Structures are given as C-alpha cells and as structure tokens.
C-alpha cells in the first residue's frame, strides 16, 4: 500500500497525522519535514521568556518520539522540491516518492519588509533570536499585531526595554476597537509605542522613520504578518489565491492532494490560528481515508497571549454591517459588534471583561456554517 | 491539586481553580472532566493535554 504523505511537521502536519492514525491503525504514514521535525507549540514562542522556557525546553516531543507515537515514518531535514499529481509522486532532490494521498501542511513565511530585521516563525528562528538577545537590552519590534504585542509584553516582562513601531495608531489595529487598544497600551506601560510610524530604513543599531526621527536599539524583530507558502502547489498547477485553494472537503484542485493550516485558503479565508487546524484536521483525516465530510468552523475567538493585559478577540467578518458598542471602566473594556438586527457579530474584550468570552462566543455566528 | 497544560497553546488547567465560567467547579480533578472537553483557548482535545511542570 502506498503511504499517505504529509508535507510539513508543524501543528497542521502532526495534527493531521494524529487524526488519521486515530481512525486507521494500518494506513502507512510518512511525514516529511524540512527541519528537525521536533514537535513544539508555535503559540508558546511569543510567551517563552516569561514562562521560563528556552528553545530546548520548548520541544514537547522529538521527531523520533512522534514517529513512534504515530506509528509513522518521519523524514527530517528533507525538502520536497516538486509535486507530480498525475503520477502521485513527490520529489526530494533526485529521489521520487509515491503517495496514495498527499497532505500539504506547508505553513507560512513571515512577511519581510526589512532585510536587517529578525523574525521568529519557528523554533530554530526563535533559538536564533534568543541568541541575538544575549547581553542586549533594547529590542525594537516592528508590528503591533497579535505576534508583535505578545513578544513585546513577553520581553518587557523579562526586563528588556521594548519599542514597538506600527503604521497604525493603536495595538491590534485590525482586531480591536480604539478603546480596547488604548486600554492595552496603558496596561503594557513599560513599552514605548510609536504610532503612525513609517519606517524608511533599519541600519545597524537604529531605526529611521520617514519623518526623520531615529531610534537606537540593539535588536529589531519584525512581526508584520504571514504569507502562506503556496509555491510548491502553484508549481504543480494547483489553484492558489492568497493560500492554496481548497474545497470544504479540504481538497486542492489536484486529485488526491489536500491542504491544511497556514498555507490553506478556504472560501476566501486564510486563518493562521490553532483552532481552525483542530477543526480542519478532523475533517481532513476522514476524507483522506475515503469519506466525504465538509469543513465547518464555529466561532473561533483568539486569545491574545499578553499576560499584562488579557485580551480575547473575535472580529466580525470583513464587510459586516453594524456598529461597535463599547463599555469601558478601569478594570477593562468590552466592545461588541452588533449587526443591524441586533445580533452579536464580533467582539473584543480586555482586562476583566475576558471572563465574558464564553457567553459572548455562544452568540456569535459560525465562521463557516 | 495538580496543574495541566495544553501542549498546543499553553493554556493551564489548575484543578484548585477549576473553570467556573464553563461550569467546572474549583477542585474538579482532571480525571473527572468529561472526555469530550476541549481546551477553551485552542480546541485541543482533553487527550492532548499534559501535566504541567510545577
């Protein structure tokens, strides 16, 4: 029997393998990883300092342990160069491998606007970042989105002097209301925030803005967003937009090829978070094994891992008609986006208001019904 | 009382605290939480939790 081949050893890859193995103890599984294949939690990278973790202790299981547990082969340090859907084959260097079904769990690359900035997108990137921080004091972070805010809080709590730069005028500009943003900004008070900041250049040790101002720093960390890895699929002729396009059955346009995780786009949505992977992996596993189930996403609020200012966000779908309603006090902010019919379509909570997450989440419409 | 950590997102379930907002009273032991329970932060199944380091 030809194996089910999974390309990628991030959460999407391993979770797919786990779900497939749960349903079928016989099907041969091969997981191909371009790195060490060790299993770790990506969301924990932006919290590792304050939770006392270093790059080694972030490894939850080694590739060998995962292989053993999944009764799978895990091939490490191997880059898949091409997919040949008509032949049901992939190539790794000069070698060709057959698959029965192929799962692309390729992940995403960090957007890079400045060559001299570091970015943390995986465990080895995190290790490099930690090494660069040795003996340093000042860190500049480009981007005040989820990842930027999480790293900023983590590093500030660890005693670094942190500057955050963003072209927006508040933290989490695309996710929360100005009131929430303000509250978060105040709660992370040791951080120097620079709003409306257009960066013209990053030179060794300094950040130059378009308005002529300059800031000294030791390290620059870029956290401006992700770009799904679509090259492998595109080269093989699969349909791609922002991500690799899949149907509600998680099938790409190539026969017997599926995609999941940060590289995938379904019904116009690219959702690089943990919860969508959990839902998608259960559907994907069934379909890889011959069923025909459809992906459903419930509402999936995202917890922002900033211990100094707990926050939960569930933005309304782009284009939703309605308005934000905000209640704020010294303990926190509750912003709810209500549609014209008065139904809750999204929310942003910070401080004590995060305790209302579960109740509010129940009122939200499904992301994909 | 023990603490359990989600291996995927780092969420910690502390038996001493429970999760009153989800109807799980303080002091509820891990083994008494239903098998179909999922991590409230990331949706990971109960079977994917591990014991947190003290």
Looking at chain A, list the stretches that DSSP marks H as alpha helix, in order from N- to C-terminal side: 11-23, 63-70, 123-133, 146-157, 178-187, 231-235, 274-288, 357-363
Contact A279 B7 (CB under 8 A): no
Residues 331-360 of A with CB under 8 A from B: 355, 357-359
A41 touches chain B (CB under 8 A): yes
C-alpha–C-alpha distance, residues A218 and A141, integer Å = 11
User: Looking at the partner chain, which of B8, B22, B38 has a beta carbon nearest the beta carbon of A41?
Assistant: B8
Residue A167 DSSP one-character state: S
Contact A51 B8 (CB under 8 A): no
Question: What is the model's pLDDT at position B54?
Answer: 47
**Which chain B residue's Cα is nearest to A354?**
B21
The model's pTM: 0.94
pLDDT confidence band for A318 (50 / 70 / 90): confident
Average pLDDT, chain A: 95
Question: What is the model's pLDDT at position B53?
Answer: 61
CA atoms within 13 A on the CB side of B40: 21
**How far are the Cα atoms of A57, A102, A230, A234, A257 from residue A250, in angstroms, in the given order?**
34, 11, 15, 16, 9
Mean pLDDT, to the nearest integer, of A173-180?
Answer: 95
C-alpha–C-alpha distance, residues B20 and A355, integer Å = 10
B40 touches chain A (CB under 8 A): yes
C-alpha–C-alpha distance, residues A32 and A9, integer Å = 7
Q: Could you give all domains of chain A from N- to C-terminal order, each with its CATH number? A: 4-109+226-288 (3.50.50.60), 112-222 (3.50.50.60), 310-361 (3.30.390.120)
Annotate A249-285 with DSSP letters as a single string: T-B-SSTTEEE-GGGEEETTB---SHHHHHHHHHHHH
ipTM: 0.82
Residue-wise pLDDT tens digits, A273-304: 999 999 999 999 999 999 999 999 999 999 99
Contact A51 B40 (CB under 8 A): no
> Best mutation site among B18, B38, B42, B51 for testing chain A: the one with the most A CBs within 10 Å?
B42
Question: What is the model's pLDDT at position A320?
Answer: 94
Residue of A295, A275, A276, A273 lying closest to A284 (CA atoms): A295
Coil, strand or helix: which one is B24? strand
Lowest-confidence range among A142-151, A213-222, B20-29?
Answer: B20-29
Annotate A43-101 with DSSP letters as a single string: GGGGGTTTTT--TTTTEEE-HHHHHHHHT-EEE-S----EEEGGGTEEEETTEEEE-SE
Contact B10 A51 (CB under 8 A): yes
**Which chain B residue's Cα is nearest to A12?**
B8
Question: What is the model's pLDDT at position B20?
Answer: 85
């Amino acid at each position: 029997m030809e194996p089910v081949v999974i390309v990628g050893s991030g959460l999407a890859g391993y979770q797919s393998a786990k779900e497939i193995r749960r349903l079928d103890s016989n099907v041969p599984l091969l997981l191909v990883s371009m790195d060490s294949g060790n299993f770790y939690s990506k969301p924990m990278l932006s919290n590792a300092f304050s939770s006392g973790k270093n790059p080694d202790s972030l490894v939850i299981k080694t590739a060998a342990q995962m292989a053993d547990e999944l009764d799978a082969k895990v091939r490490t340090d191997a880059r898949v160069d091409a997919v040949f859907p008509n032949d049901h084959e992939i190539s790794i260097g000069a070698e060709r491998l057959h698959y029965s079904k192929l799962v692309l769990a390729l992940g995403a690359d960090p957007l890079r606007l400045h060559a001299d900035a570091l970015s943390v997108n995986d465990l080895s990137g995190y290790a490099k970042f930690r090494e660069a921080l040795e003996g340093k004091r000042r860190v500049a972070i480009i981007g005040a989105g989820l990842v930027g805010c999480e790293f900023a809080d983590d590093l500030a709590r660890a005693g670094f002097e942190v500057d955050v730069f963003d072209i927006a005028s508040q933290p989490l500009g695309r996710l929360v209301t100005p009131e929430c943003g303000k509250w978060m900004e105040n709660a992370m008070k040791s951080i120097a925030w620079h709003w409306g900041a257009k960066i013209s250049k990053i030179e060794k040790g300094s950040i130059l803005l378009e308005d002529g101002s300059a800031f000294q720093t030791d390290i620059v960390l870029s956290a401006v967003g992700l770009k799904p890895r679509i090259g492998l699929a595109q080269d093989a002729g699969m349909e791609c937009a922002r991500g690799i396009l899949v149907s509600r059955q998680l099938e790409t346009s190539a026969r017997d090829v599926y995609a999941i995780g940060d590289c995938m786009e379904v019904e116009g949505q690219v959702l690089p978070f943990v919860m969508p992977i959990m839902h998608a992996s259960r559907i994907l596993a069934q379909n890889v094994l011959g069923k025909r189930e459809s992906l459903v996403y419930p509402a999936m609020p995202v917890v922002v891992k900033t211990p100094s200012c707990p926050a939960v966000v569930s933005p309304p779908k782009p284009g939703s008609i309605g308005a934000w309603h905000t209640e704020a006090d010294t303990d926190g902010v509750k912003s709810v986006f209500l549609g014209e019919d008065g139904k809750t379509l999204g929310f942003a909570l910070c401080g004590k208001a995060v305790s209302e997450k579960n109740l509010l989440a129940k009122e939200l419409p499904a992301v994909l019904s | 009382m023990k603490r359990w950590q989600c291996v995927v997102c780092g969420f910690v379930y502390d038996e001493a605290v429970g999760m009153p907002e989800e109807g799980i009273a303080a002091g509820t032991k891990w083994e008494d939480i239903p098998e179909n329970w999922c991590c409230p932060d990331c949706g990971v199944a109960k079977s994917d939790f591990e014991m947190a380091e003290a």
